[in-house]
Homo-oligomer: A and B are copies of this chain.
C-alpha cells in the first residue's frame, strides 16, 4: 500500500482544501476509531440511499454489513459503485462571529466498487474483524459462527484505492477584525465514552465480567 492515496477529481477538496488529508496512517486511524460507516449507493431512478452500518478495516479493504446494498448488488458482476463515509465529531468551535462557528471533526470518504463476499473463510475473517474492532479480546470468548450463521451473514468489501480524509483541529479562526470583539471564543472538546458494563438480565452472576468490558476505553 502507498503511504498516501493519490488525489483524484472526486477526492480533491474544493472547499477548505487545507483540511484535506491523503496520508494512509491518518485515514486508517479514523477508519479504525469509527464504529459506523455510511454506505451510499444509487438505486433505481437515480435515487440515492445512505445506510449506516458496522464495518471494519482489514489491511487495504473495508468490510461492511451489507443487507440493503447486497440486494441491489446481486447480479452486478462489476460490483456496485459506492461511497463510504465515516465521521467523528471532536469538538464545538465557538468563534466570535456566527459565520466562523464550526466543529472539530475527522471524516473519511472512500469511493469504489463493493463486492459481496461469498467465501466462508473470508466471511469468518471479516466477522472476526468486526468483533475485535468492537471490543478487542471478545472473539475468543464468544461462541463463534456456525455454517448456517455464516451463510445468513451478508458482508461486502470495498478496496481502499480512492480515499481522502478531511480534518479540522485546533483553535477558532475568526476574521481579523473580529478578534477585538468582547466575545468569549474557544473550543468545547467532545468525546465518546463508555460507561460501566450492564450484564444481560439473563447473565449468570457467577460469570465474572471480563476485564476488556470493565476497562473498556475508546
Q: Which residue of B lies closest to A10 (CB)?
A: B47
Known: A48-B42, A130-B101, A142-B94. A184 touches B172 (CB 8 A): no
Do A189 and B195 touch across chains, with their CB atoms under 8 A apart? Answer: yes
Q: Is A207 an interface residue (CB 8 A)?
A: yes
Q: Which residue of B lies closest to A43 (CB)?
A: B10
Known: A99-B149, A143-B178. A105 touches B49 (CB 8 A): no
Min C-beta distance of A56 to chain B, whole Å = 12
Interface range on chain A: under 10, 10 to 19, 20 to 34, or 35 or more?
Answer: 35 or more
Interfacial chain B residues near A142, Cβ < 8 Å? 94-98, 101, 183
On A, residues with C-beta under 8 Å from B are: 10, 14-15, 35-36, 38-42, 46-52, 54, 67-68, 71, 81-85, 87, 89, 92, 94-99, 101, 103, 105, 107, 109, 111, 127-128, 130-131, 134-135, 138-139, 141-145, 149, 152-153, 171-172, 178-179, 181-204, 207-210, 213, 216, 218
